[in-house]
Amino acid sequence: MVPACIYEGDTIPSLHMPTLYVFKPLIFKNKREQQSYNRLVRNVKRTLPIAKEVNRAIIETYEFLQTLPDEKARQKHLNLVEKSVKEQYTPRLKKLSFSQGKLLIKLINRETDSSSYELVKAFLGSFKAGFYQAFAALFGASLKKEYHPDGEDALTERIVILVENGQL
């Protein structure tokens, strides 16, 4: 049984076809390049769900903050959110590799249209944002990294689209 619609007296089956993305086949120069691509696929599959969760949490937090009456209540709620986010995400983030962490920063930028630094600054203040940025810099990362889907992150964007569509 499939849904149908009636058009000028004729019954026509109606099917919803998901979008199918077709990209030019990748040609790898050597085995190392192939392995690098496979590693990027694995890293995107591991970090994309976290970036999407972060985006949802930011939206929910922002919407809830708008309902609070004064700055004191907002600050109290932000402190609770910060504590719960640390409890929830610290064990998961500790399991990420360095390259997965850097990819997560870029994917958060892709999902939220804001850098991780800007998000921390908006919710927790300039001091904590500077502290986290300095901590990331110790390890050679930056919370200010941006995602460029048409430039340096074109391959990552391709993988993200295929993963989101269930094609990869």
Kindly report, residue by residue over 6-19, the tens digit of the pLDDT.
888 888 888 888 88
Distance separating alpha carbons of residues 135 and 117, to the nearest angstrom: 12
Q: Using 50, 70 and 90 to split pLDDT, how confident is the model at 42? A: very high
Tokens coding 45: 């599959």
**Using CA atoms, how far apart are residues 83 and 94, in angstroms rounded to an integer?**
16
Query: Can you give the pLDDT at residue 167?
Result: 80
Token digits for 76?
Answer: 């109290």
For the chain, how many structural domains are there in total?
1
Contact 155, 37 (CB under 8 A): yes
Compute φ and ψ for 6, nearest 5 degrees.
-105, 125
User: For the whole model, what pTM was predicted?
Assistant: 0.77
Q: Is residue 94 in a domain?
A: yes
Residues 127 and 114: their CA atoms lie apart, in Å, by: 18
pLDDT at 80 over 90: no
Residue 29 lies in a domain: no
pLDDT tens digits along 84-138: 877 887 888 788 888 888 888 888 888 888 888 887 787 777 887 888 888 878 7
Classify residue 113 by its DSSP letter: S
What pLDDT is stored for residue 41 in this prediction? 92
C-alpha–C-alpha distance, residues 100 and 139, integer Å: 13
Flag whether 21 is in a domain.
no
- Give a yes or no: residue 38 inside a domain: no
pLDDT at 8: 86
Residue 167 to residue 150: CA distance in whole angstroms: 21
Cα–Cα distances (Å) from 128 to 67, 68, 81, 111, in that order, read 24, 23, 14, 22
Q: Tell whether 117 is covered by a domain.
A: yes
Q: What is the mean pLDDT of residues 18-23?
A: 84
Q: Are 122 and 81 in contact (CB under 8 A)?
A: no
Tokens found for residue 107 = 């994917």
Residue 131, domain extent: 45-164
Here the tokens at position 15 are 């099917």
Residue 23 lies in a domain: no
Q: What is the pLDDT of residue 3?
A: 84
Residue 38 vs residues 14, 28, 31, 35, 120: alpha-carbon distances, Å: 38, 11, 11, 5, 31
Q: Is residue 151 part of a domain?
A: yes
pLDDT-derived band of residue 44, with 50, 70 and 90 as boundaries?
very high
